[in-house]
Amino acid sequence: MHRKIATGLAASTLALVTVAATATTASAAPADKPQVLASWTQTSASSHNAWAAARANQAAWSAYAFDWSTDYCSSSPDNPFGFPFSLSCARHDFGYRNYKAAGTFEANKSRIDSAFYEDLKRVCNAYSGGTKTSCDGTAWTYYQAVRAFG
């Protein structure tokens, strides 16, 4: 009788361990999460566009458990002088928050800041003349601020 109970208990324990291991594996982020994060935080327009598309369809990326939260340009205006910098700030926040969560922020901060500056310059490319010059100067100021205080 004790042997049947012990056998049943061992089988139940094994089944529970298998279920727990499967649940842990299912909830773990995909192994390529660092590569996806890196691909979305490069300086290129294609990196920005891929990130923006993913941001618009966050549910498709839910298994990766990315932090999509943002305060946009923090305590600076999101659209200084009417220049739409908010999306650039959101991508910058994405890079900072996800690399901090991964424990690799310091190794990636410079690239994230550079990507931010490139995003801002792409915004400014929509303008010409004195307006573009003003936008470029504002972009430079925002970039210097994140380099120093970000």
pLDDT of residue 28: 85
Average pLDDT, the chain: 88
pTM exceeding the 0.85 threshold for the entire prediction: no
b/e map 77-111, b = 16+ CB within 10 Å: ebebeebebebbbbbbbbbbbbbeeeeeeeebbee
Instruction: Give catalytic residues, as residue numbers.
Output: 92
Are 91 and 116 in contact by the 8 Å Cβ rule? The answer is: yes
Condensed to tens digits (0 to 9), the pLDDT of residues 33-63 reads 999 999 999 999 999 999 999 999 999 999 9
Instruction: Give the number of other Cβ atoms within 10 Å of residue 35's Cβ.
Output: 10
Listed by start position, the domains of the chain span: 1-28, 31-149
User: What CATH code is assigned to 31-149?
Assistant: 1.20.90.10
* DSSP track, 31-66: TTHHHHHHHTTSSSHHHHHHHHHHHHTGGGGGGGT-
DSSP state of 83: -
Nearest CA among 144, 142, 143 for reference residue 77: 142
For each of the chain's 150 residues, which pLDDT tens digit applies? 444 544 444 444 444 433 334 344 456 899 999 999 999 999 999 999 999 999 999 999 999 999 999 999 999 999 999 999 999 999 999 999 999 999 999 999 999 999 999 999 999 999 999 999 999 999 999 999 999 999
Cα torsion through 12, 14, 19, 25, rounded to 10: 170
